C-alpha cells in the first residue's frame, strides 16, 4: 500500500449500508504488512447464491483453483481474503494453505468446505503461512457485523492508495434491493476473464445460474475493459453473492437472467461493476491521469477492442499522456501495430473535443495550444474513428509515470 494517496482518489466514500444475510470482519494477521489489517472474512448466515469469473492466466493461484472447484455448487457460506501474499506459484504448499484455510473457515461458520471461497493477493512465489490466520477465523466469525464494508476494502489492499467501494439499489417486484461492492487493484492490471479482486453482495434472491449469466454478460465491458500495465494477474477473481434476504420483504426469486423483473437489477450490477473497475484505473500505480479510449467505425466490436487495448497499453502513448504531450503520432502507431483492419487515409483522432488528425494527416485546423490544454486535464478522452465499419469499443487506462517504476522496482523489499 503506497504512502501517497492518488490525486484521482475520491473526495469522499459512499456510505455502504448493511446487507441482510452477510456479516464482515477484518483482522491484522501479520502476513506481510505491519500495523494494518490484511485479512477479511464474509459470513453468510444462510447459503448465498454465488457466481464468479477468474483470471485466464495459465499460471493461476491456488485460491483461484480452489474457487473454480467450488463454484459449480452455486452456494457460499464464507469468503476469506488475505493481502500481502498471492499464494500463487507455491506448488503443493499452496494447496495445503487453501485446504487449511477452508477447513478453518468451515469450522468457524458451521458449513462444508465446498461452501467456502478464498482469494489472496500480494507477492507471487512466496509460500503462504495459513497458520497466521486460520486460528483467528473462529473469533472473526463471532464478531462479524453488517456495516464493515470500508474496513473490508482496506484489508484487501496491496499497492492500492485508497479503498474501492460502491453501492447501488434496484427494484424487484416493487421491493428495493441493495448491491454493495468492494475491489482492489493498482498494478498487474489487465483482467482477462491485476492483481484484481472484487466482491459484490446483494440481498436479492437470484439463482446462481442467472447470476452467472449476468456476470458473464457485463464483465467484458467493465472489468475486462480496463488496463493499467497490460499484465494479467495470476489471481484475478470477481465473485458476486446473493443472500436472498429481500425475499422476506416480497422480492420474488429471479430464476433466469431473461426474467423482465431482473432488468433493473442487471443495470445496477453493470453500473457498479464499471464504477469499481474505473476506480482501479484511477488508482493505477503512480497514475496521475485517467484515460478513456473510444474506438469507432471498426470492422467489428472485437477488432475495435483490440485496437483500443493497443492504444491503452502502449508505453509511448501512456508516457506522452504523463508528460501532457499531445503526441497523436503515437496513437497512429498503436492503431497500426494492432494487427487489425485499418485504413490510414480514413483515420481520424480526437484528444477530448479537439480533432488532431483526419484523412491520414494532421487536421488542417490543428491547434497545438488547444490539444495541449486537453492533455493537462485529470481525465482525458482519446477517440479514434477508423471509417471502415460499425464496430466500437471503450477501454479505460491511466498514464505511465516514473512512480510506476519506483513502486514495482522495489515491490518485494
Residue 198, φ and ψ in degrees, nearest 5? -150, 140
Q: Is 184 annotated as a binding residue?
A: yes
* Residue linked to cell 519506483: 406
pLDDT tens string, the chain, 413 residues long: the values are 445 898 889 999 999 999 999 999 999 998 888 889 999 999 999 999 999 999 888 889 999 999 999 999 999 999 999 999 999 989 999 999 999 999 999 999 999 999 999 999 988 899 999 998 888 999 999 999 998 999 999 999 988 999 999 999 999 999 999 999 999 986 554 554 445 899 999 999 999 999 999 999 999 999 888 887 666 667 789 999 999 999 999 999 999 999 999 999 999 999 999 999 999 999 888 889 999 999 999 999 999 999 999 999 999 999 999 999 999 999 999 999 999 999 999 999 999 999 999 999 999 999 999 999 999 999 999 999 999 999 999 999 999 888 877 777 765 54
Is residue 123 within a helix (H) or strand (E), and if so which, with residue range? strand 116-123
In this structure, what is the dihedral angle of CA atoms 409, 411, 412, 413, given to the nearest 10 degrees? 80
Active site residues: 195
237 appears as a binding residue in the annotation = no
Residue 275 has which C-alpha cell?
A: 464504477
> Under CATH, which number does the domain 290-409 receive?
3.10.20.340
- Return the pLDDT at 196: 80
- As beta bridge partners, residue 206 has 254
Nearest to 204 by CA among 267, 257, 252: 252
Q: Would you say 34 is a known binding-site residue?
A: no
Produce one character per residue of 153-189: b if its CB has 16 or more CB atoms within 10 Å, e if not: bbbbbbbbbbbbbbbbebebeebebbbbbbbbbbbbb
Strand arrangement, sheet containing 361-362:
361-362, 354-358, 348-351, 379-385, 290-298, 391-398
The CATH-assigned architecture of domain 22-282 is: 4-Layer Sandwich (3.60)
Give me 313's grid cell. Answer: 497499453
Report the run of H or E that residue 155 belongs to, with start and end.
helix 149-155
State the residue for C-alpha cell 457485463.
Answer: 218
Cell (9 digits) for 7: 490525486
> Is 361 one of the annotated binding-site residues?
no
CA 131 to chain centre: 28
Q: State the burial class of residue 353 (Cβ atoms within 10 Å of its Cβ: 0-12, 13-18, 19+).
A: exposed
- Predicted structure pTM score: 0.91
Domain parsing of the chain, residue ranges: 22-282, 290-409
Closest CA to 236 of 129, 119, 130, 155: 119
Of the candidates 86, 116, 127, the residue with the CA atom closest to the CA atom of residue 234: 86
Which pLDDT belongs to residue 327? 94
Q: Which residue matches cell numbers 504448499?
A: 93
Q: What's the pLDDT at 2?
A: 46
Is 285 annotated in a binding site? The answer is yes
Q: What gap in Å lies between CA 206 and CA 283, rounded to an integer? A: 32
Give pLDDT, residue 115. 98
For cell 488547444, what's the residue?
370
d(C-alpha 361, C-alpha 268), whole Å: 42
Widest CA span of the chain, in angstroms? 71
103 a known binding residue?
no
Amino acid at each position: 500500500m503506497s504512502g501517497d494517496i492518488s490525486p484521482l482518489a475520491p473526495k469522499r466514500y459512499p456510505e455502504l449500508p448493511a446487507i441482510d444475510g452477510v456479516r464482515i470482519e477484518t483482522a491484522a494477521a501479520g502476513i506481510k504488512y505491519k500495523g494494518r489489517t490484511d485479512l477479511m472474512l464474509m459470513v453468510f448466515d444462510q447459503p448465498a447464491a454465488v457466481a464468479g469469473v477468474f483470471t485466464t492466466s495459465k499460471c493461476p493461484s491456488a485460491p483461484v483453483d480452489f474457487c473454480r472447484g467450488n463454484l459449480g455448487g452455486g452456494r457460499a457460506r464464507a469468503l476469506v481474503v488475505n493481502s500481502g501474499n498471492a499464494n500463487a506459484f507455491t506448488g503443493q504448499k499452496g494447496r495445503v494453505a487453501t485446504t487449511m484455510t477452508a477447513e478453518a473457515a468451515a469450522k468457524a461458520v458451521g458449513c462444508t468446505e465446498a461452501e467456502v471461497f478464498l482469494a489472496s493477493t500480494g507477492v507471487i512465489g512466496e509460500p503462504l503461512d495459513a497458520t497466521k490466520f486460520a486460528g483467528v477465523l473462529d473469533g472473526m466469525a463471532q464478531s462479524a457485523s453488517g456495516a464493515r464494508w470500508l474496513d473490508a476494502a482496506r484489508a484487501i489492499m496491496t499497492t492500492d492508495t485508497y479503498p474501492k467501494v460502491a453501492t447501488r439499489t434496484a427494484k424487484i417486484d416493487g421491493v428495493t434491493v441493495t448491491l454493495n461492492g468492494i475491489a482492489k487493484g493498482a498494478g498487474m492490471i489487465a483482467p482477462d476473464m491485476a492483481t484484481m479482486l472484487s466482491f459484490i453482495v446483494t440481498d436479492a434472491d437470484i439463482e446462481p445460474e442467472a447470476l452467472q449469466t449476468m456476470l458473464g454478460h457485463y464483465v467484458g465491458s467493465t472489468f475486462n475493459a480496463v488496463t493499467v500495465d497490460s499484465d494479467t494477474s495470476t489471481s484475478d477473481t470477481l465473485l458476486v453473492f446473493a443472500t436472498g434476504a429481500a425475499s422476506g420483504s416480497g422480492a420474488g426469486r429471479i430464476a433466469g437472467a431473461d426474467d423482465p423483473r431482473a432488468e433493473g437489477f442487471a443495470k445496477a450490477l453493470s453500473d457498479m461493476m464499471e464504477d469499481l473497475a474505473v476506480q482501479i484505473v484511477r488508482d493505477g500505480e503512480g497514475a496521475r491521469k485517467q484515460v478513456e479510449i473510444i474506438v469507432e467505425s471498426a470492422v467489428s466490436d472485437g477488432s475495435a477492442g483490440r485496437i483500443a487495448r493497443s492504444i491503452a497499453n502502449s508505453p509511448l502513448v501512456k508516457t506522452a499522456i504523463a508528460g501532457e504531450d499531445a503526441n497523436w503520432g503515437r496513437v497512429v502507431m498503436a492503431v497500426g501495430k494492432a494487427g487489425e483492419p485499418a485504413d490510414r487515409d480514413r483515420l481520424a483522432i480526437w484528444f477530448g473535443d479537439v480533432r488532431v488528425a483526419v484523412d491520414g494527416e494532421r487536421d488542417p485546423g490543428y491547434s497545438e495550444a488547444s490539444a495541449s490544454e486537453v492533455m493537462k486535464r485529470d481525465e482525458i478522452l482519446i477517440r479514434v474513428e477508423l471509417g471502415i465499419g460499425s464496430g466500437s469499443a471503450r477501454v479505460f487506462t491511466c498514464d505511465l509515470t516514473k512512480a510506476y517504476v519506483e513502486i514495482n522496482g522495489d515491490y518485494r523489499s
